[in-house]
Structure 1
Amino acid sequence: MMSLIFLLLFIAMWCAYRNHLSTSYLFFGVSVIVGLYWFHHHATDSLSILL
Structure 2
Amino acid sequence: MMSLIFLLLLIAMVSAFIGKKSMSYAFFAISVVIGLYWFHHHATDTLSILL
- TM (norm. structure 2) is 0.99
Which structure 2 segments of 5+ residues have no match? none
Structure-2 separation of matches of 1:43 and 1:3: 19
1:16-47 Cα distance to aligned partner (Å, 9 max, x none) = 00000000000000000000000000000000
Residue in structure 1 matched with residue 7 of structure 2 by the alignment? 7
Q: Amino acid of the residue matched to residue 11 of structure 1?
A: I
Structure-2 separation of matches of 1:38 and 1:4: 11
Q: What root-mean-square deviation, in Å, do the aligned CA atoms of Structure 1 and Structure 2 show?
A: 0.3
Please identify runs of 4+ aligned residues in structure 1 that moved more than 2 A.
none
Structure-1 separation of matches of 2:23 and 2:12: 7
Q: % of aligned pairs identical?
A: 71
Residue in structure 1 matched with residue 34 of structure 2 by the alignment? 34
Structure-1 separation of matches of 2:32 and 2:39: 10
- TM (norm. structure 1) is 0.99
Q: Amino acid of the residue matched to residue 41 of structure 2?
A: H
